[in-house]
Chains A and B, each alone.
Chain A
């Protein structure tokens, strides 16, 4: 068997150009598929990490208070019990945030634009300062109580500059109309879709506009040491919170994956009855679980590309090995005359195809890794429109080793299938007929 493998390996180098072209085709296909796999591997982690910084947390706790007439109010009035539970849970908390948010219309000199305004404690949200890069203005301007930071696109659509006074029309949490005045303290680079959707004001003024008392807020964000540990930390925290406050039951993703666990929890909530404030806990992964569907779609596309490319390459391999069989017909006759069995001839062809496939696949993966490395060196900047899928301004890749091995195995198997027929034909040759054959 070793001799057969050696002969097969040597045969590959006899026609260097042909081997290089066939191996190159395999390598190209594998490279494309590996690049897609690598991008998908890092995509969901990057999106979740970026959202967690903009939303200020990996784990979120929000309160729902039942009012008369079955209305609900989103509020956390006293977070002492929540703070206590976080402390008692022992989870590794990097920092905690308190936010309120409203949807309102910004009005400036006859122009208006609907947007979400997040009320944040800017002195405590240091990560927001790092993530939200200001194009104009200064974070120091945010010390004014009625200051607001707008994204570049929002500011352009309203035609405002730093220092301009704008009106904001919104509703209180009870549904009453309210109007506030805000001063543009800064204009940030557009950080993806989310950056355009959200403007930032102080928590105290946001509360005043939506009718919440000082000290109250709507959502607590907890940034854990690592996104990977967030789900485990959430489980521990949920159990601890359930001991001291009333909690909504956490939900799993629905069967078809169209509804996130967070959306399911909110839906289930409408069917429930409770008094006072009940809390809900969700992780960034639960809120963004639909991102996983994009990853699945990317991986499926990669698999389809792999199969289509290799169906084409298989035809090429099958034809080439049919030709090889014809070229080596007298050699096969000599080998058979010298006592090599049919299985030996078949194995020689199959080994040759296997070496070609593995060589091409490994070359493809190496090429893909080099390209990934080169692309990840490019700094797109924190102000890139694709910010949300970047890692610190760089496109990042993660190729799960198992996926790479699976791709090699698929290609090896397909190559063996493609060569099976020429190999069988070669094995079935009558030695006398083969030796007599004139090319």
Chain B
């Protein structure tokens, strides 16, 4: 009997260690997919937000990233009333530009984009491996697709969600679903990644569905088009650029 217990315990310890190794590798691969260090990345995002009893709202934003310098700029193209508003990340600061007042104000990458379910942090480079600890790994099915289910806890208060659960396809490292939880442990939003597109040898989610779990019926669908890794001019990542595009 003792031998059986020992064998089971050894199996659990070894398999947990293997899973932990796998989890770190998976997180590293997920981080690598969205990291365009050494290159510039730009894309056009269209966010369609649905709220019960309200007309669907469409937000369109062009996003520019230079990951090795941690630079980020975004210009709102739609709706017309907010056209020309922009976000710029300079070092640790995120600036918001309002073309009406022609003034810059402090913002945060954790803020929602134009009242949608999407946040600035959804579009910027983030390192899940640096920001989160893996608390558990298990195998499961998402529909009929075998997945790794990674339960992550934030290492830092810099991230918007204290706990996230990732559902990652087993046969190819692709994030299919993400659940984000509040500090108090309540599920706040679920993000689904149903479509992918290949860019520069990497599979990037081209369609993202964000479901607000606190407000039933509120969801945003984010579609990425015109993605490119062509070199961007340096001036794109300056305040002057945000001012200039409004002239």
Quick check: A211 and B183 within 8 Å, CB to CB? yes
Q: How many angstroms between the C-alpha atoms of A120 and B216 in the bound complex?
A: 31
Bound complex: CA of A180 vs CA of B160, how far in Å? 16
Residues on A with beta carbons closer than 8 Å to the beta carbon of B183: 172, 176-178, 211
Give the residue of A107, A110, A175, A180 whose beta carbon is less than 8 angstroms from that of B110. Answer: A175
Binary flags per residue of A280-298, CB closer than 8 Å to B gives 1, else 0? 0000000000000000000
CA distance A179 to B162 in the complex (A): 11
B143 within 8 Å of A by Cβ? Answer: no
Are B92 and A70 neighbours in the complex by a CB distance under 8 Å?
yes
Using A107-B215, A110-B215, A211-B183 as known contacts, say yes or no to A177 and B92 having CB atoms under 8 A apart. Answer: no
- Nearest neighbor of A67 in chain B, beta-carbon distance: B157
Task: Give the shortest distance, in Å, between A238 (CB) and chain B (any CB).
Answer: 28
Quick one: which of B92, B154, B182, B217 has the most chain A CB within 10 A? B182
Within 146-172 of B, Cβ neighbours of A (below 8 Å) are at 154, 157-162
Q: Which residues of A, 298-347, contact B by the 8 Å Cβ criterion? A: none
- Decide: A176 near B188, CB < 8 A? Known: A110-B215, A167-B214, A169-B214: no
A401 touches B (CB below 8 Å): no
- Bound Cα distance from A133 to B154, whole angstroms: 43
Contact partner of B182 (CB less than 8 A), chosen from A107, A110, A177, is A177
| Residue numbers in B under 8 Å from A127 (CB-CB) | none
Chain B residues with CB under 8 A of A169:
182, 188, 214
Q: How distant is the Cα of A176 from the Cα of B215 in the complex, in angstroms? A: 18
A171 CA to B159 CA in the complex, in Å?
11
CB–CB B92/A110 < 8 A: no
Kindly identify, within residues 168 to 202 of chain A, every residue whose CB is under 8 Å from any CB belonging to chain B: 169, 171-172, 174-180
Q: B233 at the A/B interface (Cβ < 8 Å)? A: no
A209 within 8 A of B: yes
B173 in contact (CB, < 8 A): no
Residues of chain A in range 381-415 having any CB-CB distance to chain B below 8 Å: none
What chain A residues lie within 8 Å of B110 (beta carbons)?
171, 175-177
Closest to A270 in B: B106
Q: Does A112 contact B (CB under 8 A)?
A: yes
Query: With A69-B92, A209-B184 known to touch, is A177 a contact of B160 (CB < 8 Å)?
Result: yes
Whether A175 and B214, one on each chain, are in contact in the complex, defined by CB atoms closer than 8 angstroms, is: no
Any chain A CB within 8 A of the CB of B108?
Answer: yes
Given contacts A70-B92, A110-B216, A110-B217, contact A177 B157 (CB under 8 A): no
Q: What 0/1 pattern do residues 105 to 116 of B give for CB contact below 8 A with A?
A: 000101000000
In the complex, what's the smallest C-beta–C-beta distance from B125 to chain A, in angstroms?
17
Q: How far is the CB of A146 from chain B (nearest CB, A)?
A: 11
Min CB distance, A119 to chain B, in Å?
15
A residues less than 8 Å from B215 (CB atoms): 107, 110, 112
What residues of B have a CB within 8 angstroms of the CB of A208 in the complex?
184
How far is A143 from B144 in the complex, measured between Cα atoms in Å? 50
B201 within 8 A of A: no
Question: B79-102 toward A: CB 8 Å interface, digit per residue (1/0)?
Answer: 000000000000010000000000
A100 CB to nearest chain B CB (Å) = 15
Taking A175-B108, A176-B159, A177-B161 as contacts, is the C-beta distance between A110 and B184 under 8 angstroms? no
Task: Assess the A176–B160 pair: CB atoms within 8 A.
Answer: yes
- A112: which B residues are within 8 A, CB to CB? 215
> Which of A110, A174, A179 contacts B52, CB < 8 Å?
A110
25 of the cross-chain contacts (CB-CB < 8 Å) are A110-B217, A169-B182, A169-B214, A171-B110, A172-B183, A174-B157, A175-B108, A175-B110, A176-B159, A176-B161, A176-B162, A176-B182, A176-B183, A177-B160, A177-B161, A177-B162, A177-B180, A177-B183, A178-B182, A179-B182, A179-B184, A179-B186, A179-B188, A179-B214, A209-B184
Q: Give A contacts to B, CB under 8 Å.
A: 69-70, 107, 110, 112, 167, 169, 171-172, 174-180, 208-209, 211
